[in-house]
Structure 1
Amino acid sequence: MKREALLDAAESVLQENGTQALTLSAVAERAGVSKGGLLYHFPTKEALITGLVSRVIAEFDELVAEHDTGGPDSYTRAFVEATFAVIAAPDGARTGRRWAAITAAATTPELTAPLRAAIGRWHHRDDDSPNAIVVRLAAEGLWEVAAQDPSQYSAEQYTALRRRLLGLL
C-alpha cells in the first residue's frame, strides 16, 4: 500500500465523518490494509496528519511553480492559476484536501505550524503590486467556499471568477 493511498483514505474519513472519526484503525479499514500496514508508513496519528499537511503544501507549491513564468505579478498569477486548478478541477478530488489537513491538524499547534508557515510564504511577498495581496486573499477565500460546498459555482462561474481576479493584476 502506498503512502498516497493511505493519505487518500485519511482524507475520506475526515471529509465523510469529521475529525473525531480520524483514527488509525478507521484509516486502515478505509484503505483496506492491516493496521500494521498503515503503521509501517505512519507510526502515529500525528505522523499521518503531518503527511496530510505536507502533501497539501507540496502539491500547491508544485502547482504554483508550474504556472510561475516570472515578471510582474507572475507569482500572484501563478497562485490564482494553481488555486483554480484545484477548485475547478472536474472531479473535485483536491478541493477538500486542504480543509481535511487543516481540520486534522487543528487539534495540535505543532501540527498546524508547517501550514501556517506555508500560508505566510504564499501571502507575504516583497514584490507585490497593490492588488496582488487582494487577489491572493480573494482566491484563498474562494478555495474555502469551494471546500465547504463544491457545487457553489458552476464551471462557467469559476472561469469568470478566474478571469476577473487575473484582470485585477
Structure 2
Amino acid sequence: MKKDALLDAAEAVLSEQGTQALTLNAVADRAGVSKGGLLYHFPTKEALVQALVARVIEEFDDLIASYDDGSPGSYTRAYVEATFAVLTDGSRTYRRWSAITAAATDPELAEPLNEAMRRWHGRDPGQDSDPVTAMAVRLAAEGLWEVVSHAPELYGDAQLAALREKLLSLLQR
C-alpha cells in the first residue's frame, strides 16, 4: 500500500471521527491493511501526523505557486486565490486542514505549521505597493478560512465570491 493511501485513510478518520479517534489501529482498519503494514510506513502516530501536516503544507504551497506569476504583489494575490480555491472547491478540503492541525497539538508536531505560517504571513511586504494592506488581506483570508472551517454554512458561494473579489480589489489600490 502506498503512503498516500494511508494518509488518505488517516485524514478520513480525522475528518469523520475527530482527533480522539486517530489511532494506528483505526487508520489501518480504514486503509484495509494490517497494523504492521501501517507501521512499516509510519512507525508511530506522531510520524503519521507529521506526514499529514507535511502533505497539506506542500499542497497549499503548490497551490500558491500555481497562482504566483512573480510580478509585484503577486504573492499576496496568489495567497488569496489559493485560499478561495480551497474554500470553494466543493470537497471541504479546508475541513481536512482543520482536522490535521487539530491533531498536531504537540509543539514539536505543530512546528512545521508554525514555520509555514511564518513563511506565508512573514513574506517581505516590500513586494506589494501597499505592504500593510497586503498583510491585512492575507490575515483576512486566514481568518475567513478559520471561520469557514468551524461554520461552513455561514457563507454561501455568492458571499465567498464577493469576499474574494473585495480582498483582491484591495490589493489593486
TM-score range, shorter chain: over 0.9
* Aligned partner letter, 2:45: K
Aligned residues: 167
Aligned residue for 2:140?
138
Q: Deviations over 1:70-114 (max 9, x none)?
A: 22211000000111111110222x1112212211111x1111111
1:112 aligns with 2:114: no
TM (normalized to structure 2)?
A: 0.91
* Aligned partner letter, 1:12: A
Q: Which runs of 5+ in 2 are unaligned?
A: none
Q: Which runs of 5+ in 1 are unaligned?
A: none
SS of corresponding position for 1:33 = coil
Aligned residue for 1:20?
20
**Partners of 1:118 and 1:141 in 2: CA distance:** 16
- What is the RMSD computed on CA atoms of the aligned residues? 1.2
SS of corresponding position for 1:115 = helix
**Partners of 1:90 and 1:98 in 2: CA distance:** 14
**Partners of 2:4 and 2:96 in 1: CA distance:** 12
Aligned residue for 1:101?
100
Q: Deviations over 1:119-139 (max 9, x none)?
A: 000001212422001100110
Q: CA deviation at 1:52?
A: 0.8
**Partners of 1:116 and 1:125 in 2: CA distance:** 14
Q: CA deviation at 1:13?
A: 1.5
**Partners of 2:148 and 2:113 in 1: CA distance:** 19
Alignment of 1:30-41 (within 5 A): 30-41=30-41
1:168 aligns with 2:170: yes
Q: CA deviation at 1:150?
A: 2.5
The equivalent position to 2:151 in structure 1, one of 149, 152, 155, is 149
Aligned residues with identical type, % of pairs: 62
